[in-house]
A and B are shown apart, each in its own frame.
Chain A
Amino acid sequence: MADAELLAAGRPQAHNLDPARSFQGLILALQQYWASWGCVILQPYDMEVGAGTFHPATTLRALGPKPWNAAYVQPSRRPKDGRYGENPNRLQHYYQFQIILKPSPPDLQELYLGSLRAVGVDPMLHDIRFVEDDWESPTLGAWGLGWECWCDGMEVSQFTYFQQVAGFECAPVAGELTYGLERLAMYVQGVDRVYDLNFNGLDGDKKVTYGDVFLQAEREYSKHNFEVADTAMLFEQFKMAEAACQKYLAAGWQDGKREVHLMALPAYDQCIKASHVFNLLDARGVISVTERQSYILRVRELAKACGEAWLATEGGGR
C-alpha cells in the first residue's frame, strides 16, 4: 500500500471526497444520493454520444409501461464545441450526470433540490430558480417540457418531463434530470476555468486538476474534429451505420411479423453511431444547411424505428 499512502498523504481522508473540493467527489455524492433513493447506478454507455439522453437507458427505457429509475455519468461528445483547450467553459468532451425516473414521481422537484443539498448547495443561501426551457431533440424525435435550473443565475441542470421519445408518446411520462457536471463543479468549487477544477480533492503537488486529465485531449480532438477527421471515411461510416441499423431492425422481427422484436439494442447502437458520425461531419463543415436537415431526418427515422422495435421487446414491456 505504499503508493496509496503516497497519494493520500498518509491515509485516506474523507474530505478528499467533499463535492466542494473534488470533481470526483461531486460525482460520487450524486451517485450516492440517487442510489439511496433506489436508482440503479449504471456506468457510462460504451459508445460516443452527444448527450446522456442517447444512452439506451434513457432513450429506449423511457418508452413503454415498465417502471425504470436509473442514474449514470455519461461522457458526452460535442465535436463542434471544441476550442483547442482555450475557452474556459467549452469542451468537445464533457460529463453529464443523468437521472431518468419513470413514471415521474410527484415530488421530483424536491428530490432534485435534495441532490443540490447533497453536493453542498444550500437553497437557503443560494437563489435556486426553475426557468422555462422546453426541450426538443430533432434527431431523437423527442420533446418534453421543463426548466433549466438556475443557481445564482447559473444554469446547473436541465429538468424535463418527457412527452415523446422516438416519435412515441411516453406512457407513463418519465422525468429526466441532466446535470452539467463540470459547470456544477465549477460552481461549488468557485473556479472560473474548467481546467482549474480540482479533480481528486488533494492539495499541493498531490492535486490533480481537470486540465491534467483532459487538456491534452481537448487540444488533440479539436484539431481532429475541425481539421483532420477523415470525411470520406465518415460519409462512408454514416451510410454503413444507417444500412446496418436498418438491416438489424429488419432481421429482428420474429418470424418476419411486426409483433416481437429481438434486436432493438444492437440496431440502436448503429443509430447512435450514425448520430455521432453526423456530428463529426458537421464539425468539419462539410454538410450544407439544406443537407443538414436531411441528415437529421435520416437519424430520426432510425431512432423512431428503434423505438418501435424496443416497444416490441420484452424489456420494452411488450
Chain B
Amino acid sequence: MTAPKTLEDLLAIEAIKQLKARYFLLMDTKRWDEWRDLFTVDVRVEGGPAHNDRDAFVDFVRQGLDGVQSAHQGHMPIIEVTSETTARGTWAMSDDLLFPAGHPWSGTLPRRCGYGHYEEEYRREEGAWRIAAMRLTRLAVWDEAIPGSRRAPRGSR
C-alpha cells in the first residue's frame, strides 16, 4: 500500500472512520434523526432494494429494523481521499440480527448473522463528510441458533 501523502488526507481519513462509526452506533441505537444526517440528500444505496433518496432510504431501514435487536460492526477501512471534498472507501462488516416472531426479514431461525463489505463514496459538505454512495456485498448470510438457547434451564438437574 502507498501511504497517504498529506496530513490533510490523514485527517480526512480519520473523520470518515468516525462517520462510519456513527453510522453503526446510531443505527443500532435507533437514533434515526441523527442517522439521517450522515448521508447526502441524494445518497445512492445498492446491495438490497436500491435507493437514491435519503428520506426514503432512512424510512426503509427504520421500518426494517423496528423491533430487531441489531449489532452491526465495521472493520478494516481502506479509505482513499480523491479530492478536498470527495473520498471513497471499503469496509469489512458483520451484522447479527435478532428478529421478533414473524418479522419479514427473518429466516428459518430468529437470529441471522451476515458478513460482507461496504463499498462507499463520501462527500464533504460545508466541512462535514457524509456518505454519498453505499453498496453492500455479502460473503455469507447464515441463520444461527441463539447463543445459550440449547443450554439446559438452571436447576433442571
Whether A associates with B in a native complex is no
